[in-house]
Structure 1
Amino acid sequence: MIAGGIQVHHVIFSVKAFIAGMLAYLIADYFGLTNPYWALGSAYIVTNPLSGSVASKAVYRLGGTVLGAGAVIVLVPSFVQEPVLLVMAITLWAAICLFVSSLDRTPRAYVFMLAGYTAALTGFSIVSTPEISFTYGTSRMIEIGIGILCASVVGRLILPQALAPVLSGKVEGWLSNAADLTREVLSGEADAARTQAERNRLAADATGMRMLGAQVAYEGAQARAAVERLQAIKYRMVMILPQLSELADLRTALGQSARGREAGRAIIAPVQDWLDMEDAQALAAVDRLLSRLAQTGAAVLADDSEALRALWEGAPAGALGTWEALLVTRLAERLSDLVCIWNDCRILRSDLAHSEGPALRQSLSSRYRRSDHLHFDYGTSVLAVVTMMVAAGIAAAIWIGTGWHYGAGMLEFAIIMCSFMAAMDNSVPVMKKVLQLTLIALGLAFVYQFAILPAIGGGFAAEAAALAFVLIPCGILMASPPTWFAGFQVSVNLIYMLTLSNQIGTDLVSFTNASLGTVAGLIVAATVTSVFRAIGAERAARRIARAGWSVVIDAASGRRNFERERLYGRMLDRLGQIVPRLGALPEGSRVRGNDILRDLRVSLTVMQIQRAKAALAPVARMRTEEVLARIAALYRARRRHQEGAPDDLRRALDMALAAVPLSDRPLCDALAGLRCTLFAAAPPPGLDPLYRPSFDRRTDDERIPA
């Protein structure tokens, strides 16, 4: 089952997990706790090949257990005389916890999800005996705490594998791939479809690294010192992607004329050389390169071809046209931004593994330390909660209506499955797989419960030796990401189905009823989810894309003023969420061809236009507002599954460019950038020859040189 075969580190991880689990079971059993198998199961749940992941999950699991047990201690005595109300109260608590968990897109979300279903696991078991709520709840916390402690100690003491070097390697790999993509974009040799796919993959990888980064701080003081630089470099990394998107379009637009191609090639070549330099050499040369890029715009707009050729070898000798000059100026600005970002990445990368750094590096870490601005889909979260509550309601009705004592297990597993699968678009296939693996675990538990354990006669050593034949192979599966799910489901379900204690149970009726309750809970959860929650990748991806289109509409309509950093974070996070779903989208899907980076650039440029249009003369302002209105109309049409009117928008952009005076450089630059973003391959607009002196605004319909 493991691609490439079993490796030594797979076996080491499995043995460590087994040692931690059996140590937790031995301690819990020695102190006479009610359900020592909970300690064993908790050790397997939190164990992970990376010590930082073990520590973070241990903290989150302990916190969730405490919250869940606290809820039981409060709710059970409050509804001691009303079992039905108690079931409703615990279900409502689990629903609230699931809603909060679905909105907290960090590893910390495990705390809230666990708090919800821990209350269900504990509370429904003692509905008929509410007087033991405090004892039962505290006992469950102690058992889980022992398992967590053993998994953490064993993970730290026996051949620990730190997460920080793994994450540093991922950052290095990301930057290397981004550098290759940057070279392809600058050379003009990249295929448009492949470039977009590679940008999407880098965005998805950055989203995954955000989750890993949240766990690094649990590895000690040195790792915590690296977190600040890690946050900074992640923020700068994702800023590369929009820059590459625009540079590709600028190259396409400049390629419409021979002079534009020559000017673009001359300016880009030194940047390519700078990217190929070693870090030390590049850091020494960056100021000179940025200075040349800063002087480019002035030379172009002043029609000083000699100054341009002095700056860039190979620049065209004659004057550039108006449109070409606007594009070349914008190209120089975007290249300057790209060089600054890559320079910061070089500095931060070289210091990522150190706890102390030069003042400049610490300044960069502080300047680009940002909280994550993430996309939240409240509708999907509400749907997940409704699905769980309906499944819980059906299971509770069967339990209460039939008076079946083991129906509590059905309700518990319905809540657990709906909670764990809440983040999936369509979790029904996964639930079916869980059912298959649960049946496998059920068969193994039956053999152990009624054949192996009675034959060996009890005793810790004998039980451990018997369990090793299943738990160690399952641990090997857990060590490999592709097979982790199978190993986890079989091992954890086997542990909880056996209900190991200091006395071997051979009650076939109880075992059968408990097993039926588990299977029935899975079936109820899968059935309800297939009706309420199977939204599919197409619908989920479109919901995310619509959120991005709404941002563009709001910006173009002037209804909202977005913070730049927040907009970057939200749009790139949306891209990171759509990318994993692209493979499941049908060929004709509109979302498949949608470029969120282009939407981000449109919204940023639109906000720039909104800020600059107030100072325009009436006609120029009217033309600019027409552009904004047509952008809003185009994206509204996308939301309604309709085609917009891009040709009308292009004509409106050309008229606005002709009406806005060249002296208003920020607005001219924004309009040129917007046209390049939306119509990079279109023929150049028919603009008047570029007047080199500044312009006044004595008339509305024509520009007169001062």
Structure 2
Amino acid sequence: MLLYKQLLAFRPSKMDFIFAVKTFIAGMLALYIAFCLDLTYPMWAIGTVMIIVNPYSGMVSSKAVYRLFGTAAGAIVATIITPHLINTPFLFMSVLAVWVGFCLYISLLDRTPRSYVFMLAGYTTAMIACNSINNIETVSVFDMALGRVLEISLAVVCTAVVFSVIFPVHLGPAIQQRVDKTLNDTRQIFQKILTEHHQDNNYSELLGAITRDIADIHALAVHLNYEKGELQGMTKPIQELLHQITMIVSNLTAAAERIRQLNAIDGHYQQGVLTLHQHIRAFIVSKTQIQEADLTALPPEFEQDFQYLKRLACPEQQIILAGLKMDIRHLIQNVFTVKLIWQLIQRGEKHIPESIATLTTSYPSLHRDHGMALRGALAAVVAIFVSFSLWIYSGWNAGYMMAQLAAVSACILTAMDNPVPALKMFIRGSIYAGILTIIYILGIMPEVKEFWQLALVLAPTLIIFVMMYPHPPLTGLALPTMVSFIMSLNLQNRYSIDPLKSFEACLGSVAGPIIAVMAVYFIRAISPEESVNRLLSKHYKAMREALYLPYGVEFRIHLRSMLDRIGLLNTKLVQSEALKQAMNLALIETSAIVDLSRLDELAHRADISQQLKIHIGELQNLLDYAFRNQEKQLHLDEEIRAQVMMKITEIEQQLQQPNDHDLQQRLQISLNNIRSSIFHRPTMQAEA
């Protein structure tokens, strides 16, 4: 019912119409050239255009390149295995299923646009194998594979040329706008943290939304290598910029937590914070052009402002203020780092200054769920086994369509928590495509004699449905409808109408996705709540790993991966209030893992007493045990929490004895942050 309301409310814009017309031109051009070259299946050329189109020319080009590589890999594998295994059906479908499952597994782990290569390599093999078997008496496997590669290449070139020449829309300005918005959001949150002193303010949701935006922009930046816009070739610098912004998010979260702690004890210090904010803001704004020497600069009033804060604050707030000072100092330095990188990007410079510890790795530090990837691969294997078995043992002529679409459907949406609703939409689109196919075959196509007539009768349907592509609620219906419609028409040079064969192909195009839906439903699909539980479990595992990481580039990369996981958490729509709270607390906990690393660093200092070193080692063991406990059951047993709190208290008492002031303060700051941000317990004074 909701879909029908969205269809009735759909009002295409001018840009939607231009996009649809460009798609139609690219599709017709690819189809015409395929006819002229007398390729075996011209429908694959126009069908590929329907699949790879996107409003942004860079995304079209990148997807086209990835599709070409994936198709070539799939064609090579199909050419190798099909002739040798075609006479052993069970072994053949076993090898094919394992290959598709393996490719899907790698694709789900990659989490970048290049994952399309691996996914396509898998299901292209299945498609070529199915069509080769169906036409085994007339076309060889090699010719089928070669034709597939040629038709895909033709579609890729036509689409890339049309979208690059006719009113090209570049991705660079959109990314620049989103980066500017993200930077502006961080500025606003910083202002709110230091100027709005209400204890009920919860900034973790706002900061979590920024991590989600960062994850989205990170994926979009990959396409910049394939367009000629303002940010052409700036993928790595943009991704490095985003990595550095996550450091700001961590600093802001830590600062917000310190402010919350201070407010819980006493509010007399707040006037000093307002003055501090004014000086920091004026200092950052004054630095319009950042130089490398500015990366460690602080406002000239910085020390004076914190001295004033210390005089306003009560004794119980002094350690918290020292922690706030450290967080804000790192925040200012990270802000200047981001500003410098952004200035270099806007000037067209790709290099990152050596003074900046780069977080961009050859393999991005993103969250990867091997368990869910394996379950997705297993669902694809089962779908292929079932569909191929039904085809082989039933002898159904249109079984090849069922088998290949089962493989495709099991792959394309498996990255979602629960792909079943989307796959159901795919089935609905296939049904609508079947209705359109029958109308065209029986009522329109018999009158078509020339190519211009074919283009004329296809234009209304293609343009209307493609205009829905840029609108996410309708994409899930329009895309499968168009692809299934084009494939079911089976356009060829020597076109002959066989209504019964076309009807069987429509049935096969519906049966294949149904098999995939059943396999995915019983093996892969999980609820958003289950997905959040898995992510939180990985979160606590990463917390435990941070205990033993020395502070440096490796630690910052680890923090970046944890914040990426927070971004994924914030995409989940859950009903449980307990899970919502756990999702918000995860960001606060992540902001304090630097204190876990500092704890290990302080424990290895030569000037620390043996007794204090033993106490810190015992605390680390307790923290390790606590995180393992949370990794298994998400919530922490109160007995374990009490043991950790008791050990922290023992160390704090040990610090009352004469010690190095710098060492004592740094350790007190870390202990306070661990108690407050990781275990969500107030300071002893606030609790009393």
Q: TM-score, normalised by structure 1?
A: 0.87
Instruction: State how 1:642-657 maps to structure 2 within 5 Å.
Output: 642-645=635-638, 646-657=641-652
Distance across 2 between alignment mates of 1:40 and 1:154 = 13
**Cα shift at 1:373:** 0.5
The equivalent of 1:595 in structure 2 is 585
1:668 and 2:668 correspond: yes
Alpha carbons 2:272, 2:309 under 8 Å: kept:
yes
**Cα shift at 1:452:** 0.6
1:608 and 2:608 correspond: no
Out of 404-413 and 220-229, give the one that drifted further.
Answer: 220-229
Alpha carbons 1:548, 1:599 under 8 Å: kept:
no
**Cα shift at 1:276:** 5.6
Out of 233-242 and 607-616, give the one that drifted further.
Answer: 607-616
- What is the one-letter code of the residue matched to 1:182? F
The equivalent of 2:118 in structure 1 is 112
Distance change (3 Å), C-alpha of 1:446 and 1:556: same
- What is the one-letter code of the residue matched to 2:82? V
1:93 and 2:86 correspond: no
Alpha carbons 1:264, 1:328 under 8 Å: kept:
no
- What is the one-letter code of the residue matched to 1:180? Q
Question: CA offsets per residue over residues 353-384 of structure 1, 9 Å max, x none?
Answer: 33248x9x755778465452111111101101
Distance across 1 between alignment mates of 2:673 and 2:541 = 21
Instruction: State how 1:41-56 maps to structure 2 within 5 Å.
Output: 41-56=47-62
1:524 and 2:515 correspond: yes
The equivalent of 2:616 in structure 1 is 624
The equivalent of 1:333 in structure 2 is 326
- What is the one-letter code of the residue matched to 2:348? S
Calculate percent identity across the aligned residue pairs. Answer: 24
Question: CA offsets per residue over residues 85-116 of structure 1, 9 Å max, x none?
Answer: 22222222111111111111110000010011
Match of 1:76, SS?
A: helix
Distance across 2 between alignment mates of 1:21 and 1:125 = 22
Alpha carbons 2:269, 2:309 under 8 Å: kept:
no
**Cα shift at 1:264:** 4.8
Distance change (3 Å), C-alpha of 1:236 and 1:151: same
1:579 and 2:570 correspond: yes
Alpha carbons 1:97, 1:115 under 8 Å: kept:
yes
- What is the one-letter code of the residue matched to 1:242? S
Alpha carbons 1:80, 1:86 under 8 Å: kept:
yes
Which of 278, 285, 298 is the matching residue for 1:289?
298
Question: CA offsets per residue over residues 51-97 of structure 1, 9 Å max, x none?
Answer: 10011001000001100111111111222432332222222211111
- What is the one-letter code of the residue matched to 1:619? Q
Question: CA offsets per residue over residues 293-341 of structure 1, 9 Å max, x none?
Answer: 4xx4xxxxxxxxxxx5xx55854548963x5332222222211111111
Match of 1:57, SS?
A: helix
Alpha carbons 1:24, 1:150 under 8 Å: kept:
yes
Instruction: State how 1:15-30 maps to structure 2 within 5 Å.
Output: 15-30=21-36
The equivalent of 2:195 in structure 1 is 187
1:546 and 2:537 correspond: yes
Which of 396, 399, 418 is the matching residue for 2:410?
418
Match of 2:221, SS?
A: helix
Alpha carbons 1:290, 1:336 under 8 Å: kept:
no
Distance across 2 between alignment mates of 1:509 and 1:221 = 49
Distance change (3 Å), C-alpha of 1:395 and 1:120: same
Which of 279, 286, 290 is the matching residue for 1:270?
279
Alpha carbons 1:398, 1:407 under 8 Å: kept:
yes
The equivalent of 1:257 in structure 2 is 266
The equivalent of 2:170 in structure 1 is 162
Distance across 1 between alignment mates of 2:43 and 2:279 = 65
Question: CA offsets per residue over residues 408-456 of structure 1, 9 Å max, x none?
Answer: 22221111111012101111111111111111111001111121111x2
Match of 1:62, SS?
A: helix
Alpha carbons 1:98, 1:385 under 8 Å: kept:
yes
1:468 and 2:459 correspond: yes
Distance across 2 between alignment mates of 1:378 and 1:585 = 26
Which of 73, 77, 81 is the matching residue for 1:67?
73
Alpha carbons 1:188, 1:251 under 8 Å: kept:
no
Distance across 2 between alignment mates of 1:570 and 1:284 = 29
Match of 2:468, SS?
A: helix
Which of 45, 61, 84 is the matching residue for 1:78?
84
1:242 and 2:250 correspond: yes
Alpha carbons 2:221, 2:238 under 8 Å: kept:
yes
Out of 6-15 and 655-664, give the one that drifted further.
Answer: 655-664
**Cα shift at 1:259:** 6.0
- What is the one-letter code of the residue matched to 2:63? K
Distance across 2 between alignment mates of 1:20 and 1:608 = 58
Distance change (3 Å), C-alpha of 1:46 and 1:424: same
Match of 1:127, SS?
A: helix
**Cα shift at 1:560:** 13
**Cα shift at 1:495:** 0.7
Question: CA offsets per residue over residues 659-690 of structure 1, 9 Å max, x none?
Answer: 1335324433322332342467724459xxxx
Alpha carbons 2:310, 2:318 under 8 Å: kept:
no
The equivalent of 2:677 in structure 1 is 677
Question: CA offsets per residue over residues 578-622 of structure 1, 9 Å max, x none?
Answer: 1111x2343343774452223323433112212322444343234
- What is the one-letter code of the residue matched to 1:342? V
1:346 and 2:339 correspond: yes
Out of 152-161 and 514-523, give the one that drifted further.
Answer: 514-523
Question: CA offsets per residue over residues 484-533 of structure 1, 9 Å max, x none?
Answer: 23222221211111111123332122112212212111111111222112
- What is the one-letter code of the residue matched to 1:491? M
Distance across 2 between alignment mates of 1:449 and 1:273 = 70
Match of 2:563, SS?
A: helix
- What is the one-letter code of the residue matched to 1:348? I
- What is the one-letter code of the residue matched to 1:215? H
Root-mean-square deviation (CA, aligned residues, Å) is 3.0
Distance change (3 Å), C-alpha of 1:285 and 1:402: closer
Which of 109, 119, 125 is the matching residue for 1:103?
109
**Cα shift at 1:136:** 0.9
Alpha carbons 2:238, 2:345 under 8 Å: kept:
yes
Which runs of 5 or more structure 1 residues have no equivalent in the other structure? 297-307, 687-706
Distance across 2 between alignment mates of 1:680 and 1:540 = 24
Distance change (3 Å), C-alpha of 1:317 and 1:33: closer
Distance change (3 Å), C-alpha of 1:275 and 1:483: farther
Alpha carbons 2:410, 2:516 under 8 Å: kept:
yes
Distance change (3 Å), C-alpha of 1:225 and 1:383: closer
Distance across 2 between alignment mates of 1:127 and 1:95 = 21
- What is the one-letter code of the residue matched to 1:89? V
The equivalent of 2:499 in structure 1 is 508
Distance change (3 Å), C-alpha of 1:561 and 1:232: closer
Distance change (3 Å), C-alpha of 1:642 and 1:669: closer
Instruction: State how 1:301-380 maps to structure 2 within 5 Å.
Output: 308=304, 314-315=308-309, 317=311, 321=315, 323-356=316-349, 362-363=353-354, 367=358, 369-371=360-362, 372-380=364-372
Match of 2:417, SS?
A: coil
- What is the one-letter code of the residue matched to 2:587? L
Match of 2:541, SS?
A: helix
Q: If you compute each CA radius of gyration, which structure gives the higher value, 1 or 2?
A: 1
- What is the one-letter code of the residue matched to 2:535? I
- What is the one-letter code of the residue matched to 1:202? I
Alpha carbons 2:172, 2:232 under 8 Å: kept:
no
- What is the one-letter code of the residue matched to 2:478? G
Distance change (3 Å), C-alpha of 1:681 and 1:262: farther
